[in-house]
Amino acid sequence: MFTRAIVRPPGSNFADGLTTVNLGVPDYQKALEQHEQYCAALTQAGLTLTRLAADTRFPDATFMEDVAVATPRGAILTHPGAPTRAGEVETIRATLSQYYGPLSMIDAPGTLEGGDVCNAGDGHFLIGISRRTNEEGARQLSAWLARLGYTSQCVDFRDRRSILHLTTGMTALGHHRLAVVPELADHPALRDYELVRTVPGEAYAANCLRVNDVVLVAAGFPTFEAYLQRLGYHTVAVEMSEFQKMDGGLTCLSLRF
């Protein structure tokens, strides 16, 4: 059960951030509107938001999930694999410390971004090995989770180049169920889960976000949303077009705990 989230709107230089896709330049005003819609959806799902100011020192700073991993028992600051994002970590330390006290941190040579971490439920975490998270970063996180009483498993998907972060292609829906793109569905680390696969043309929809009794879904993917509704989920569609242009999704726009 989530009760809080930390969010940060995109800055005026949002379009200068990192992206691996070629979907055009994001419209800044539209991005602000979509971010506000996203925040409203989190609030309606029962979360109290801590709203940080935009930070133009870091064009990708709106993607809050990547700089920390928060669990019910503790939080840890990450060490982003993208060098231009390294400075973002300290911008959240003071705020997150208000809720968790002194924070641990992933140390070099380990790299870890929160988008590669999925709380799969039942005290178990899936940790992606990716272009941004290396084996040492995953090892450090796994050891830290174990000290808190959690289990974890690595999901190495570096051979699946279309997927940037683990949660780009897979998110947890509860009930031992994962939303997943077909490219990840055959991964051995996922064999014990019920998989809700996206259909061709709707891969972006796999980055959905369950917040308590609601599943936020990216607008514009009706087949996936209808599938979730048939499974009994209450869905709320959120426009995400401008964040999609910058490799962003529903999970990465907030840090929830």
Closest Cα partner for 105 from 121, 122, 120, 88?
Answer: 88
- High-pLDDT (> 70) share of the chain, %: 100
Query: What does the pLDDT look like over 105-127, one tens digit per residue?
Result: 999 999 999 999 999 999 999 99
Tens digits of per-residue pLDDT, 32-62? 999 999 999 999 999 999 999 999 999 999 9
Q: What is the pLDDT of residue 161?
A: 87
pLDDT confidence of residue 152: 98
Contact (Cβ atoms closer than 8 angstroms) between residue 53 and residue 8: yes
Residue 236 clears pLDDT 90, i.e. is over it: yes
Model confidence over 11-33: pLDDT tens digits? 999 999 999 999 999 999 999 99
What ranges do the domains of the chain cover?
Answer: 4-9+22-256
**pLDDT tens per residue, range 153-204:** 999 999 998 999 999 999 999 999 999 999 999 999 999 999 999 999 999 9
Neighbours of 192 (CB within 10 A): 10
Residues 6+ apart with CB under 8 A from 113: 66, 67, 78, 80, 81, 82, 85, 130, 132, 133, 165
Structure tokens at 204: 């972006």
pLDDT of 6 above 90:
yes
User: What residues contact residue 240 under an 8 Å CB cut-off, 6+ apart?
Assistant: 34, 38, 204, 218, 219, 248, 249, 250
pLDDT value, residue 213: 96
Residue 235 in this model has a pLDDT that exceeds 90? yes
Please provide the size of the chain in residues.
257
Q: What pLDDT was estimated at residue 14?
A: 98
- What is the pLDDT averaged over residues 86-97? 98
Please report the DSSP string for 210-254 in residue order. EETTEEEEETT-HHHHHHHHHTT-EEEEE--HHHHTTT--TGGG-
- The phi and psi torsions of 53 (rounded to 5 degrees) equal -75, 150
Check 39, 118, 165, 208 and give the catalytic one: 165
- Predicted pLDDT of residue 123: 97
The H or E element spanning position 41 is helix 28-44
pLDDT for the residue 66 = 98
Catalytic, 154? Answer no
| Topology at the third CATH level for domain 4-9+22-256 | L-arginine/glycine Amidinotransferase; Chain A (3.75.10)
* DSSP-derived 3-state class of residue 183: helix
Residue 85: the pLDDT is 97
* 35 among known catalytic residues: no
| pLDDT tens digits for range 244-253 | 999 999 999 9
Q: Which residue has the tokens 């840890």?
A: 76
Q: Which of 7, 2, 9 is nearest to 46 (CA)?
A: 2
The sign of the dihedral angle between the CA atoms of 88, 146, 102, 104 is: negative
